[in-house]
């Protein structure tokens, strides 16, 4: 995810990285060449003059802009819901770490470390599941051999790690470190983690209906292809410049909507899951008095 300081208005005109413009250049060049051809042939195709003017396309463009606005709003809602879920993940992991440290009789440091390592592993497992990437390297740093073997061949690794977190809480109850009420408080937060996983999976597995996307995509390009025929008589050789500008506006809105519709990917404007995972790691390990400079695999040695 691109996060920049507020820049001068003039510099923003030339921002390249993080904008959708690099992916649009081929399409804009196509519209430029098409517009030049339309102007050169005076809006005729095989001696047939295309009878278009700006009036119908003005009305059509207004309606199209409304549909694009709805499309972008729907995509941004998905993006923002994903961000809220990961914000809730930060809050719940902090709460669980505090409970592990303060509730009940004092636990040995290695026991609390095991719990925090599991929370860290849960966060990274969720990130990799949402991005369909290999989680082995990150989980190897955070889990012991027995735990790693238990989840190595599973598909939904975050939910298996939730089971391990639940087993840790049950063990604390069996050894009388916490009572039933405190166990219930732990369980409430573990249920919140399960809700977060389910919410992220809902966003990922339920895209905006494909038929709607296809209809809007076709309509945008049909509008852009007809535009030079409507402008050629009134604008002449200015037509290519105006057409490219209008085309950029419409197809950029569509491209932005496509990019943020799936907020857990690795595009420039997707959620910064790597940074969020590192933030969660830092805050939960600080809660148990460990500063993680490189990776959690060094934490046990630090505590010892």
Q: What per-residue confidence (pLDDT) applies to 18? A: 66
Q: Is the pLDDT of residue 295 over 60?
A: no
Rounded Cα distance between 122 and 119, Å, is 5
The pLDDT > 70 percentage for the chain reads 90
Place of tokens 């955070």: 142
Residue 79 φ/ψ, nearest 5 degrees = -60, -45
What sections of the chain are H helices per DSSP?
9-12, 21-40, 54-102, 109-131, 136-142, 145-151, 157-174, 180-205, 210-235, 239-261, 273-287, 299-303
* Confidence at 6, pLDDT banded by 50, 70, 90: low
User: What would the pLDDT profile of 141-188 be if each residue is shown by its tens digit?
Assistant: 999 999 999 998 899 999 999 999 999 999 999 988 889 999 999 999
Q: What per-residue confidence (pLDDT) applies to 162? A: 96
Residue 139: count other Cβ atoms within 10 Å of its Cβ.
21
Q: What is the CA radius of gyration of the chain?
A: 27
The pairs formed by 136-140 with CB atoms below 8 angstroms and a separation of 24 or more are none
Q: What per-residue confidence (pLDDT) applies to 118? A: 95
Q: What per-residue confidence (pLDDT) applies to 45? A: 82
Q: Is the pLDDT of residue 301 over 50?
A: no
State how far the alpha carbon of 232 is from the alpha carbons of 35, 41, 64, 244, in Å.
8, 10, 21, 13
Mean pLDDT for the stretch of residues 97-115: 85
Q: What per-residue confidence (pLDDT) applies to 5? A: 65
Residue 25's Cβ-count burial label (10 Å; 0-12, 13-18, 19+) is exposed
């Amino acid at each position: 995810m691109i996060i920049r300081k507020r820049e001068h208005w003039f510099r923003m005109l030339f921002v390249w990285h993080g904008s959708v413009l690099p992916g649009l250049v081929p399409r804009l060049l196509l519209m430029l060449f098409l517009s030049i051809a339309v102007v050169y042939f005076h809006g005729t195709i095989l001696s047939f003059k295309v009878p278009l003017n700006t009036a119908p396309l003005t009305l059509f463009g207004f309606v199209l802009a409304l549909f694009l606005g709805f499309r972008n709003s729907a995509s941004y809602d998905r993006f923002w819901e994903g961000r809220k879920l990961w914000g809730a993940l930060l809050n719940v992991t902090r709460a669980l770490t505090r409970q592990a440290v303060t509730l009940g009789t004092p636990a040995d440091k290695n026991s609390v470390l095991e719990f925090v390592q599991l929370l860290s592993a849960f966060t990274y497992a969720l990130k990799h599941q949402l991005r369909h990437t290999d989680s082995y390297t990150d989980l190897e740093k955070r889990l012991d051999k027995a735990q790693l073997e238990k989840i190595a061949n599973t598909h939904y690794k975050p939910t298996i790690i939730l089971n391990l977190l639940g087993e840790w809480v049950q063990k604390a109850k069996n050894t009388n470190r916490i009572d039933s009420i405190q166990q219930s408080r732990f369980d409430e937060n573990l249920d919140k983690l399960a809700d977060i996983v389910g919410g992220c999976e809902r966003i990922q597995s339920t895209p905006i209906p494909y038929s709607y996307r296809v209809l809007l995509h076709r309509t945008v390009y049909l509008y852009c292809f007809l535009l030079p025929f409507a402008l050629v008589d009134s604008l002449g050789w200015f037509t290519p410049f105006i057409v490219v500008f209008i085309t950029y506006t419409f197809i950029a809105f569509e491209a932005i909507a496509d990019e943020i519709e799936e907020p857990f990917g690795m595009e420039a404007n997707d959620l910064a899951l790597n940074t969020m995972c590192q933030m969660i790691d830092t805050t939960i390990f600080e809660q148990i008095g460990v500063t993680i400079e490189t990776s959690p695999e060094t934490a046990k040695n630090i505590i010892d």
